[in-house]
Amino acid sequence: MPGVDASAESIGSILLTRSEHDRLNRAELYYATPDMTALALAAAATPPTEPMTLRRLPSEAGMIVFGEPIGGYTEDVAAVFAGALAGNSVAPAVVTTPIVAVSWSVWSPQAVALDQGSVRWTFRGQGRTGTIPPDFRGVWLTFYSPRGIFSGLAPETEIATMPDGAVITAGAIDATRATHGPVLGWDNEMLLREGAAFGPAQPDTTELWSHVLYTAWQLMGHDGKNQWAEVEDVPRARAGQKRDRRQGITASGAVRIVRVHPGRRPSPKAAAEDAEASTGRREPQWSCRWPVRPYRRNTCMNPRAHGAGECEHEDRIVPGHIKGPEGKPLRTGSTVHLWDSQPAAEA
């Protein structure tokens, strides 16, 4: 813990790190298959129309890894190393960082208590600054990208030249980083206020990524004739569960695999054509998979009270036109997604 003269930023970073560690220890684990990821992206092309509601969360705390990136952003190497290699030569190269996982937990005044006191949180980002109200209630999201800044570049790509003439390559940097830390790294975070409306979002922002996550929650929550997803609990190995318990991880010993319901899946040919058009570092394409994208319909849940304004509305995802016979699997076989191909220069 920092001393009494520590800055508010250093204290806040430690508290956030502790809170992140705590919620990941109790987070339920989810994996959205590539077809489920593409479906969430297709439906999220328009923002959710219902206000953000905690009822949509599949668990109070969780982490989901997507089979394909839900977004990404590009940076120039010079910007990545700004100040870090002062006076050295930095080669021109643009890298694309994919967003492939999100963790969440409910944020409330009780969630930020410290030693029977309270913490006043401020936020900064998207050109805005302010203080989070003490009665704020909503969801705290953290977005993750794969470890390795330059994992999508050829290992021999020259990144910088040191004063002594030594050349630093992309492979050398990522090999060093690979020996430290987890497979996924923190990228960004945000808060969603309960009851707040979703609106249009700029590309490559946390707002847009949150639309995809919330849409995935919506799809997972539909049932009956409106069912879009099926969830399978896959138990983890006993050795892994024992290791978790020793480290204080209290979540269940299973990973929930989220797939598109068999009745909603397009043909393998359409999926293959879409995969061919995707870069592996950005959102997958779905021009073949969903020629007419799934769309939202704001549905009244109590029509009898609609006239009096006492009803409640929620989003329902309506199917678009899907190629291929119903019930056919999207893909066959097992695929490991490395997110290791940078987009072409003209992309």
CA-based torsion, 179, 180, 182, 186: positive or negative: negative
Q: What is the pLDDT of residues 168-189, one digit of tens each?
A: 787 777 776 555 556 788 889 9
Flag whether 3 is in a domain: no
Mean pLDDT on 292-313 = 79
* Cα 259 to Cα 33: distance, rounded to the nearest angstrom: 6
Flag whether 342 is in a domain: no
Cross-strand bridge partners of residue 232: 257
SS3 (DSSP) at 56? helix
306: tokens are 């609609």
Flag whether 270 is in a domain: yes
Q: Are 302 and 310 in contact (CB under 8 A)?
A: yes
Amino acid at 176: T
Flag whether 113 is in a domain: yes
- Residue 290's domain comprises 13-318
Q: Are 213 and 36 in contact (CB under 8 A)?
A: no
* Cα 39 to Cα 16: distance, rounded to the nearest angstrom: 32
Flag whether 181 is in a domain: yes
Evaluate if pTM is beyond 0.75.
Answer: yes
- Best CA proximity match to 76, nearest among 161, 165, 155, 153: 153
Q: What is the pLDDT of residues 221-255, one digit of tens each?
A: 988 888 899 999 998 777 777 777 776 666 667 89
What's the total number of domains in the chain? 1
Flag whether 346 is in a domain: no
Cross-strand bridge partners of residue 130: 123
